[in-house]
Structure 1
Amino acid sequence: MSDASYRDAIFSTPLDRVARFSFDEKVVACFPDMIRRSVPGYGQILGMLGLIASRHLRHGAHVYDLGCSLGAAGLALAGTLPPDAFRYTGVDLSPAMVARARETLAAECPAHAIEVIEEDIRRLDYRPSGMVVLNFTLQFLAPQDRDAVVARLFEALEPGGVLVLSEKIRAADEQENAWLVERYHDFKRANGYSEMEISQKRTALENVLMPDTLEGHHERLARAGFPRSQTWFQFLNFASLIAFKDAVAPAPRGE
């Protein structure tokens, strides 16, 4: 398969019936362009992953990239860390994404210990890991499944490990949320999307991408057992959080 990617024009023609959004071959072909023009701050988030790993990842530890798409997080880590610094497992449910990610990572990072598997992150048998990257993935799971996934990630993380969680978010205040959504649409217009493309993609994502509030994310992380989490990045209604698992379990409190 060619490594060429194409301009995102999936919703550029009128559709009698807008299908639900899915990560199929058409999306894979234009995914780099789609992400660049649709996700504010995506490049900055990727650029920080290696720096975060340099500070928090035990040398040689395992890293999960859940919902890895084309393996951009793996490329970012490999671009910063030497081959013996980590072992990487990318996980995605889309066969088309997995196939392209395997090709790309094998070509770009041949010396690194990298694998990409096709699996549902709700059913994956997790191995102990020093870092988990969950970039714009949790939002595509049914809301009732999210707590269980995050709780399992807490259990899989080694003491001192970190979870990087990036998501599209919604504001609890309706007026604030409307302003963020309007400015996000301005961002997409500035990146060349037409009114029809914006409208049709929004329809396709209804009931597929269901965002939480920032407060909801932090509360879920606390319920899972993370003693501390913080929002380290936000650009309009897109944000990235980091959650820390204590290196040493706290002593039990006396009665």
Structure 2
Amino acid sequence: MATASSVVFTRVGLRRGNRAAIPLLIGLMPFALVVGVVSQGKGLSLLETLLMSALVYAGSSQLLALELWADPAPILAACLAAFAVNIRMAPMGAALAPWMDKLRGWRLWGTLGTIVDHSFALGVADIRSGGKDAGYLMGIGVVLWTAWILLVGVGHVMGGLVRLPPGHPLFFAATATFVALLVTLWRGLARDLWPWATAALVAVAALRLGLPQPVPLLAGALSGAALAAWRERRTP
């Protein structure tokens, strides 16, 4: 693993990140299109949709906020829901500390502003393999951020032409992408599966009990994190 003193930020790393992000666009595309379609269906203008996508830049939060959208808009409820979904970014930042602690200025804030689950998974995998070029992480993030805005815009424009029925396979694209990303995070240790399984079971149980969003998501995340922390403390 790269030590803090050996971390660099180069154009070579940025370009390597750009290339690594290209395959991720396959999973990003249907997710972004769905967000655009839903935004159009909720009455948001194209400009409003693009601004939300650029500034919020969190597909799960955007979809959850749109599900809560009404007239008048429930600002507090939407903000709380987005906070609950995005609280996972805190431990992500801690896991990326070997790189983040050495960055300053636009390199730090540009990287933090474009981190998503996809870039986090690839960044952690690179750190674990001994990578030391933090430009790799921002290179992934910039491509995904740009593509997200453009594709959400396309989805909004298409929203008036295409009406997808509930349960359409396109709506499963985001979930499938997130599940696939777990492969890059797994270290080959069976004990790592327990927190994941716990989080999934608790979230599904909360959903089956009829608890409103974002309670199932938050319950699953906190339970999985708590079990992982407890197991780490018990490991010598």
On whether the aligned pair clears a TM of 0.5, the verdict is: no
Which structure shows the bigger proportion of residues in strand conformation?
A: 1
Higher relative contact order (CA 8 A, sep 6+): 2
Give the TM-score of the pair, scaled to structure 2.
0.28
Give the TM-score of the pair, scaled to structure 1.
0.27
